[in-house]
Amino acid sequence: MNRPGYRLKLPPQVPNGRTNRAPGHRRARGDSIPVTDDMKGLMRAFMDNRDRPVRSELRRDYQVDTSDLLRWISGEKPRMRVDTWERVKPILEQFAVR
């Protein structure tokens, strides 16, 4: 409700929609590590195994989500959370074609 002589105080506008963050700074998403060529090699060896469990079995029996493997291998997702790698690595090693 506007009363005569009363002005609503607005916060100062941010020019061009920018914030006070440093250039290139993104929202923190937890500890992450870059996906290395060795990690990609292990993922490829896992994918080459025709006898590996299917994704639903991995999720049900090992509580591991492998849906991003192709994105990590291709480089579409260059980083991975540390806890994800710690869960996925033993499964990849177990079912990788040597």
pLDDT tens digits, 15-73: 665 556 666 666 666 789 999 999 999 999 999 999 999 999 999 999 999 999 999 99
Structural domain contains residue 90: yes
Note whether residue 6 is domain-resident.
no
- Predicted local distance difference test score (pLDDT) of residue 30: 72
Q: Which two tokens stand for residue 95?
A: 């079912």
Task: Tell me if 54 is assigned to some domain.
Answer: yes
> What is the rounded CA–CA span in Å between residue 3 and residue 77?
54
Task: Evaluate whether residue 23 is within a structural domain.
Answer: no
Is pTM beyond 0.85? Reply is no
Q: How many domains does the chain have?
A: 1
Query: What single-letter amino acid sits at 62?
Result: Y
Backbone angles phi, psi at 15, to 5 degrees: -65, 130
Domain range spanning residue 90? 31-95
Q: Confirm whether 39 is domain-assigned.
A: yes
Q: Tell me, yes or no, whether 16 lies in a domain.
A: no
